[in-house]
Amino acid sequence: MSRPSEDALIARYFAPLATEPGADGLNDDAAVLPADKGELVVTKDMLVAGVHFLAGDAPDLVAKKALRVNLSDLAAKGARPAGFLLGLGLPPDWTEAFLADFTRGLGEDIATFDCPMFGGDTVKMPGPLTLSVTAFGRAERTVRRGGAWPGDVIVASGTIGDGALGLFARLAELGLGTAPAWLSQLGAEHRAALARRYLLPEPRTRLAAAVSAHASAAMDISDGLAGDLAKLLKASGAGGEVAADAVPLSEAARAALALSPDLIRTILTGGDDYEIVATIPRVALEKFEAEAKAAGVPVTVIGKVTPGQGLAVLDAAGTPLDLGSGRFEHF
Amino acid sequence: MSRPSEDALIARYFAPLATEPGADGLNDDAAVLPADKGELVVTKDMLVAGVHFLAGDAPDLVAKKALRVNLSDLAAKGARPAGFLLGLGLPPDWTEAFLADFTRGLGEDIATFDCPMFGGDTVKMPGPLTLSVTAFGRAERTVRRGGAWPGDVIVASGTIGDGALGLFARLAELGLGTAPAWLSQLGAEHRAALARRYLLPEPRTRLAAAVSAHASAAMDISDGLAGDLAKLLKASGAGGEVAADAVPLSEAARAALALSPDLIRTILTGGDDYEIVATIPRVALEKFEAEAKAAGVPVTVIGKVTPGQGLAVLDAAGTPLDLGSGRFEHF
In this complex, do B127 and A122 lie within 8 Å of one another by their Cβ atoms? no
Evaluate if residue B114 carries a pLDDT over 50: yes
Q: What is the pTM of this model?
A: 0.93
* Residues of B whose CB is below 8 A from A47: 123
Number of other residues whose CB lies within 10 A of the CB of residue B56: 12
| Residue B15 amino acid letter | A
Q: What is the 3-state secondary structure (H, E, C) of A101-113?
A: HHHHHHHHHHHHC
Evaluate if residue A277 carries a pLDDT over 80: yes
Question: Given CB atoms, is B29 within the 8 Å cutoff of chain A?
Answer: yes
Taking only residues 228 to 287 of chain B, the set having a beta carbon closer than 8 angstroms to any beta carbon of chain A reads: 235
Q: Are A230 and A313 in contact (CB under 8 A)?
A: no
Q: Are B209 and B80 in contact (CB under 8 A)?
A: yes
Separation CA B331–CA B215 (nearest Å): 31
Which pLDDT does position A1 carry in this prediction? 54
Binned at pLDDT 50, 70 and 90, residue A4 comes out as confident
- Give the mean pLDDT of B252-269: 96
Q: Are B53 and B65 in contact (CB under 8 A)?
A: yes
Task: Write the CB contacts of A318 (distance below 8 Å, at least 6 apart in sequence).
Answer: none
* Residues of B whose CB is below 8 A from A11: none
Residue pairs spanning A and B at CB distance below 8 A: 209
The Cα of A190 is separated from the nearest Cα of chain B by a number of Å equal to 31
Question: Given CB atoms, is A211 within the 8 Å cutoff of chain B?
Answer: no
- Give the mean pLDDT of A257-282: 96
Nearest to A45 among B9, B73, B121 (CB): B121
Binned at pLDDT 50, 70 and 90, residue A209 comes out as very high
For A112, list phi and psi in degrees, rounded to 5: -60, -45
Task: Write the CB contacts of A268 (distance below 8 Å, at least 6 apart in sequence).
Answer: A160, A161, A224, A225, A226, A244, A247, A313, A321, A323
Binned at pLDDT 50, 70 and 90, residue B325 comes out as low
pLDDT digits (tens, 9 = 90+) for B116-154: 999 999 999 999 999 999 999 999 999 999 999 999 999
- Give the mean pLDDT of A238-261: 97
Which pLDDT does position A330 carry in this prediction? 44
Nearest to A48 among B28, B46, B124 (CB): B124
Q: Are B81 and B116 in contact (CB under 8 A)?
A: no
The Cα of B102 is separated from the nearest Cα of chain A by a number of Å equal to 18
pLDDT digits (tens, 9 = 90+) for A139-153: 999 999 999 999 999
Kindly provide the b/e burial profile for residues B189-227, where b requires at least 16 CB atoms within 10 angstroms of the residue's own CB.
ebbbbbbebbbbbbbbbbbbbbbbebbbbbbbbbbbbbb
Which pLDDT does position A150 carry in this prediction? 98
Taking only residues 126 to 145 of chain A, the set having a beta carbon closer than 8 angstroms to any beta carbon of chain B reads: 126-128, 130, 132, 134, 136-137, 142, 144-145
Binned at pLDDT 50, 70 and 90, residue A325 comes out as low
* Residues of B whose CB is below 8 A from A331: 3-6, 9, 90, 124
Which pLDDT does position A331 carry in this prediction? 44
Binned at pLDDT 50, 70 and 90, residue B331 comes out as very low
Which pLDDT does position A292 carry in this prediction? 98
In this complex, do A134 and B44 lie within 8 Å of one another by their Cβ atoms? yes
Separation CA A138–CA A93 (nearest Å): 38
Mean pLDDT of chain B, nearest integer: 94
Evaluate if residue B309 carries a pLDDT over 60: yes
Nearest to B127 among A119, A121, A127 (CB): A127
In this complex, do B44 and A77 lie within 8 Å of one another by their Cβ atoms? no
pLDDT digits (tens, 9 = 90+) for B272-290: 999 999 999 999 999 999 9
In this complex, do A121 and B46 lie within 8 Å of one another by their Cβ atoms? yes
Task: Write the CB contacts of B175 (distance below 8 Å, at least 6 apart in sequence).
Answer: none
DSSP string of A38-64, one letter each residue:
SEEEEEEEEEEBTTTB-TTS-HHHHHH
- Give the mean pLDDT of A316-324: 90
Question: Given CB atoms, is A31 within the 8 Å cutoff of chain B?
Answer: yes
pLDDT digits (tens, 9 = 90+) for A7-49: 888 999 999 999 999 998 888 889 999 889 999 999 999 999 9
Evaluate if residue A326 carries a pLDDT over 70: no
Evaluate if residue B27 carries a pLDDT over 90: no
- The residues with which B297 forms a beta bridge, in sequence order, are none
